[in-house]
Amino acid sequence: MRTWATWTERLGVIHGKESCSKKLSADWSIPILCEFKKASKTLNSPLRMNAMSTKEKWMPPPVSQLRLDTDAAVKEDKNLAAIGGIVRNHEGQPLMAFARNINLPSSIVHAELLAIEEGLRISKEIGLKIDQVFFDSLMAVQVVTKPEEDFSYIGAVAASVKKLLDLNRNSRIMHNCGSANLVAHSLAHFSFSFLYPSLWVNGNFPFWLVNLVIQDLSYYE
Protein backbone atom coordinates (compact mmCIF):
# COMPACT_ATOMS: atom_id res chain seq x y z
CA MET A 1 0.00 0.00 0.00
CA ARG A 2 2.96 2.33 0.64
CA THR A 3 4.26 1.61 -2.85
CA TRP A 4 0.84 2.35 -4.31
CA ALA A 5 0.63 5.61 -2.35
CA THR A 6 4.11 6.67 -3.48
CA TRP A 7 3.28 5.89 -7.10
CA THR A 8 0.02 7.87 -6.88
CA GLU A 9 1.86 10.80 -5.30
CA ARG A 10 4.47 10.74 -8.06
CA LEU A 11 1.80 10.78 -10.77
CA GLY A 12 0.20 13.74 -9.03
CA VAL A 13 3.47 15.69 -9.07
CA ILE A 14 3.95 14.89 -12.77
CA HIS A 15 0.49 16.31 -13.49
CA GLY A 16 1.02 19.51 -11.52
CA LYS A 17 0.10 18.58 -7.96
CA GLU A 18 2.22 20.04 -5.17
CA SER A 19 4.62 17.43 -3.81
CA CYS A 20 4.34 16.03 -0.29
CA SER A 21 7.10 16.76 2.21
CA LYS A 22 10.56 15.27 1.67
CA LYS A 23 10.39 13.77 5.17
CA LEU A 24 7.19 11.90 4.31
CA SER A 25 8.74 10.62 1.09
CA ALA A 26 11.75 9.36 3.03
CA ASP A 27 9.51 7.73 5.65
CA TRP A 28 7.74 5.85 2.87
CA SER A 29 10.84 4.91 0.90
CA ILE A 30 12.72 3.04 3.63
CA PRO A 31 9.88 0.56 4.44
CA ILE A 32 9.24 0.05 0.71
CA LEU A 33 12.89 -0.88 0.18
CA CYS A 34 12.84 -3.28 3.14
CA GLU A 35 9.63 -4.93 1.91
CA PHE A 36 11.06 -5.26 -1.60
CA LYS A 37 14.20 -6.96 -0.30
CA LYS A 38 12.12 -9.30 1.86
CA ALA A 39 9.84 -10.17 -1.08
CA SER A 40 12.83 -10.81 -3.36
CA LYS A 41 14.27 -13.32 -0.90
CA THR A 42 11.03 -15.30 -0.75
CA LEU A 43 10.68 -15.68 -4.52
CA ASN A 44 12.71 -18.90 -4.60
CA SER A 45 9.69 -21.04 -3.83
CA PRO A 46 9.77 -24.86 -3.58
CA LEU A 47 6.72 -24.83 -5.86
CA ARG A 48 7.33 -25.86 -9.44
CA MET A 49 6.31 -22.37 -10.48
CA ASN A 50 9.42 -20.26 -10.92
CA ALA A 51 9.30 -16.54 -10.08
CA MET A 52 11.67 -14.16 -11.79
CA SER A 53 11.91 -10.67 -13.23
CA THR A 54 12.04 -9.65 -16.85
CA LYS A 55 13.71 -6.85 -18.70
CA GLU A 56 11.78 -3.68 -19.43
CA LYS A 57 10.62 -4.94 -22.85
CA TRP A 58 7.94 -7.46 -23.71
CA MET A 59 9.72 -10.69 -24.54
CA PRO A 60 8.15 -13.61 -26.46
CA PRO A 61 8.01 -17.06 -24.86
CA PRO A 62 10.12 -19.94 -26.20
CA VAL A 63 9.03 -21.67 -29.41
CA SER A 64 5.73 -23.59 -29.07
CA GLN A 65 4.97 -21.97 -25.70
CA LEU A 66 2.25 -19.48 -24.76
CA ARG A 67 2.56 -16.41 -22.57
CA LEU A 68 -0.27 -14.79 -20.60
CA ASP A 69 0.07 -11.14 -19.54
CA THR A 70 -2.48 -9.68 -17.12
CA ASP A 71 -3.07 -6.41 -15.32
CA ALA A 72 -5.58 -4.69 -13.07
CA ALA A 73 -6.63 -1.06 -12.73
CA VAL A 74 -8.47 0.67 -9.89
CA LYS A 75 -10.19 4.07 -9.70
CA GLU A 76 -11.06 4.35 -6.02
CA ASP A 77 -12.57 7.84 -6.38
CA LYS A 78 -15.18 6.38 -8.77
CA ASN A 79 -15.45 2.94 -7.14
CA LEU A 80 -14.31 1.31 -10.37
CA ALA A 81 -11.97 -1.62 -10.95
CA ALA A 82 -11.13 -3.59 -14.06
CA ILE A 83 -8.89 -6.41 -15.25
CA GLY A 84 -7.46 -7.40 -18.60
CA GLY A 85 -5.11 -9.89 -20.17
CA ILE A 86 -3.74 -11.30 -23.40
CA VAL A 87 -2.24 -14.63 -24.52
CA ARG A 88 0.49 -14.57 -27.19
CA ASN A 89 2.68 -17.22 -28.81
CA HIS A 90 6.42 -17.17 -29.53
CA GLU A 91 5.86 -14.97 -32.58
CA GLY A 92 3.92 -12.42 -30.57
CA GLN A 93 0.65 -13.36 -32.27
CA PRO A 94 -2.37 -12.81 -29.99
CA LEU A 95 -4.56 -15.87 -29.43
CA MET A 96 -6.91 -14.55 -26.74
CA ALA A 97 -7.59 -11.26 -25.01
CA PHE A 98 -10.11 -10.21 -22.38
CA ALA A 99 -11.20 -7.11 -20.50
CA ARG A 100 -13.90 -6.73 -17.88
CA ASN A 101 -15.01 -4.68 -14.90
CA ILE A 102 -14.96 -6.24 -11.44
CA ASN A 103 -16.29 -5.35 -8.01
CA LEU A 104 -13.99 -2.96 -6.18
CA PRO A 105 -11.32 -5.23 -4.60
CA SER A 106 -9.85 -4.90 -1.14
CA SER A 107 -6.43 -4.00 -2.59
CA ILE A 108 -4.54 -3.76 -5.85
CA VAL A 109 -2.92 -7.14 -5.06
CA HIS A 110 -6.39 -8.67 -4.82
CA ALA A 111 -7.27 -7.15 -8.20
CA GLU A 112 -4.04 -8.44 -9.79
CA LEU A 113 -4.79 -11.96 -8.57
CA LEU A 114 -8.33 -11.80 -9.95
CA ALA A 115 -6.86 -10.81 -13.34
CA ILE A 116 -4.52 -13.81 -13.35
CA GLU A 117 -7.32 -16.15 -12.27
CA GLU A 118 -9.60 -14.88 -15.04
CA GLY A 119 -6.89 -15.20 -17.69
CA LEU A 120 -6.06 -18.76 -16.69
CA ARG A 121 -9.72 -19.75 -16.43
CA ILE A 122 -10.56 -18.46 -19.91
CA SER A 123 -7.43 -20.06 -21.37
CA LYS A 124 -8.40 -23.41 -19.89
CA GLU A 125 -11.96 -23.13 -21.24
CA ILE A 126 -10.84 -22.46 -24.81
CA GLY A 127 -8.04 -25.05 -24.73
CA LEU A 128 -4.94 -22.87 -24.45
CA LYS A 129 -2.07 -24.36 -22.43
CA ILE A 130 -0.31 -21.46 -20.68
CA ASP A 131 3.43 -21.82 -20.08
CA GLN A 132 4.25 -18.35 -18.72
CA VAL A 133 2.19 -15.89 -16.70
CA PHE A 134 3.46 -12.32 -16.37
CA PHE A 135 2.13 -9.39 -14.36
CA ASP A 136 3.64 -6.28 -12.81
CA SER A 137 2.84 -6.80 -9.12
CA LEU A 138 5.78 -8.23 -7.17
CA MET A 139 3.57 -8.62 -4.10
CA ALA A 140 1.09 -10.74 -6.07
CA VAL A 141 3.96 -13.00 -7.19
CA GLN A 142 4.96 -13.43 -3.57
CA VAL A 143 1.39 -14.32 -2.54
CA VAL A 144 1.05 -16.99 -5.24
CA THR A 145 4.47 -18.55 -4.83
CA LYS A 146 4.65 -18.78 -1.05
CA PRO A 147 4.38 -22.41 0.06
CA GLU A 148 2.33 -21.96 3.22
CA GLU A 149 -1.46 -21.97 3.09
CA ASP A 150 -3.25 -18.64 3.42
CA PHE A 151 -6.85 -18.63 4.65
CA SER A 152 -7.56 -14.96 3.85
CA TYR A 153 -9.75 -13.82 0.95
CA ILE A 154 -6.58 -13.02 -1.02
CA GLY A 155 -5.22 -16.45 -0.14
CA ALA A 156 -8.36 -18.04 -1.57
CA VAL A 157 -7.80 -16.38 -4.95
CA ALA A 158 -4.10 -17.30 -4.82
CA ALA A 159 -5.07 -20.93 -4.15
CA SER A 160 -7.35 -20.88 -7.20
CA VAL A 161 -4.47 -19.51 -9.33
CA LYS A 162 -2.17 -22.27 -8.05
CA LYS A 163 -4.77 -24.90 -8.88
CA LEU A 164 -5.15 -23.59 -12.42
CA LEU A 165 -1.37 -23.52 -12.85
CA ASP A 166 -1.04 -27.06 -11.50
CA LEU A 167 -2.96 -28.25 -14.56
CA ASN A 168 0.26 -27.53 -16.42
CA ARG A 169 3.22 -28.55 -14.24
CA ASN A 170 5.71 -26.58 -16.32
CA SER A 171 3.90 -23.26 -15.93
CA ARG A 172 5.92 -20.37 -14.58
CA ILE A 173 4.62 -17.24 -12.90
CA MET A 174 6.79 -14.14 -13.22
CA HIS A 175 6.99 -10.46 -12.40
CA ASN A 176 7.68 -7.88 -15.09
CA CYS A 177 8.03 -4.12 -15.30
CA GLY A 178 5.13 -1.90 -16.33
CA SER A 179 6.78 -1.09 -19.66
CA ALA A 180 6.68 -4.80 -20.53
CA ASN A 181 3.00 -5.03 -19.66
CA LEU A 182 1.51 -2.22 -21.76
CA VAL A 183 -1.04 -4.28 -23.72
CA ALA A 184 -2.57 -5.90 -20.62
CA HIS A 185 -2.54 -2.49 -18.93
CA SER A 186 -4.45 -0.95 -21.84
CA LEU A 187 -6.96 -3.81 -21.82
CA ALA A 188 -7.72 -3.26 -18.14
CA HIS A 189 -8.25 0.48 -18.67
CA PHE A 190 -10.40 -0.21 -21.74
CA SER A 191 -13.09 -1.62 -19.45
CA PHE A 192 -13.53 1.72 -17.68
CA SER A 193 -15.20 3.10 -20.80
CA PHE A 194 -17.02 -0.09 -21.80
CA LEU A 195 -19.91 -1.51 -19.80
CA TYR A 196 -19.83 -5.19 -20.81
CA PRO A 197 -17.09 -7.87 -20.52
CA SER A 198 -15.05 -8.32 -23.70
CA LEU A 199 -13.44 -11.50 -25.00
CA TRP A 200 -11.57 -11.79 -28.29
CA VAL A 201 -10.37 -15.11 -29.76
CA ASN A 202 -9.61 -16.77 -33.11
CA GLY A 203 -8.04 -13.70 -34.70
CA ASN A 204 -11.14 -11.57 -34.10
CA PHE A 205 -9.25 -8.68 -32.50
CA PRO A 206 -10.09 -4.96 -32.76
CA PHE A 207 -7.73 -2.69 -34.68
CA TRP A 208 -6.58 -0.77 -31.62
CA LEU A 209 -5.52 -4.00 -29.89
CA VAL A 210 -3.66 -5.27 -32.95
CA ASN A 211 -1.89 -1.91 -33.15
CA LEU A 212 -0.78 -2.20 -29.50
CA VAL A 213 0.59 -5.68 -30.14
CA ILE A 214 2.51 -4.43 -33.19
CA GLN A 215 3.99 -1.62 -31.09
CA ASP A 216 5.06 -4.19 -28.50
CA LEU A 217 6.78 -6.27 -31.17
CA SER A 218 8.47 -3.21 -32.67
CA TYR A 219 9.75 -2.24 -29.24
CA TYR A 220 11.02 -5.78 -28.74
CA GLU A 221 12.91 -5.70 -32.03
- Give how far Cα 181 sits from Cα of 69, 140, 144, 174, Å: 7, 15, 19, 12
Among the ranges 26-35, 63-72, 141-150, 194-203, which has the highest mean pLDDT value? 63-72
Question: Which segment of 5-14, 45-54, 68-77 scores lowest on mean pLDDT?
Answer: 45-54
Contact 83, 111 (CB under 8 A): yes
The percent of residues above 90 in pLDDT, for the chain, comes to: 36
Half-sphere exposure of 169 (CA within 13 A, CB side): 0
Contact 188, 116 (CB under 8 A): no
- Indicate the pLDDT class of residue 95, thresholds 50, 70 and 90: very high
Mean pLDDT of the region 59-70: 93
Please give the distance of CA 163 from its chain centroid, rounded to a whole number: 18
Question: Which segment of 13-17, 44-48, 184-188 scores lowest on mean pLDDT?
Answer: 44-48
**Domains detected in the chain:** 2-41 (no CATH), 67-220 (3.30.420.10)
Look up residue 20 and give its DSSP letter.
P
Distance CA 135, CA 31 (A): 23
Asked whether residue 1 carries a pLDDT value surpassing 70, the answer given is no
Give the predicted TM-score (pTM) of the model: 0.72
Res 172: pLDDT = 84
158 CB neighbour count, 10 Å cutoff: 24
Distance CA 188, CA 94 (A): 16
Res 49: pLDDT = 41
Averaged pLDDT of the chain: 80
Asked whether residue 183 carries a pLDDT value surpassing 80, the answer given is yes
Report the chain's terminal Cα–Cα distance, integer Å: 35
Per-residue pLDDT reduced to its tens digit, 163-176: 888 766 678 888 88
Res 155: pLDDT = 85
Distance CA 132, CA 123 (A): 12
- Let me know the angle formed at the C-alpha of 194 by 191 and 195, rounded to the nearest 5 degrees: 105
Asked whether residue 26 carries a pLDDT value surpassing 90, the answer given is no
Res 64: pLDDT = 92
Distance CA 219, CA 221 (A): 5
More confident position, 214 or 97: 97
Question: Which segment of 22-31, 58-67, 143-152, 153-162 scores lowest on mean pLDDT?
Answer: 22-31
The percent of residues above 70 in pLDDT, for the chain, comes to: 71
Res 32: pLDDT = 62
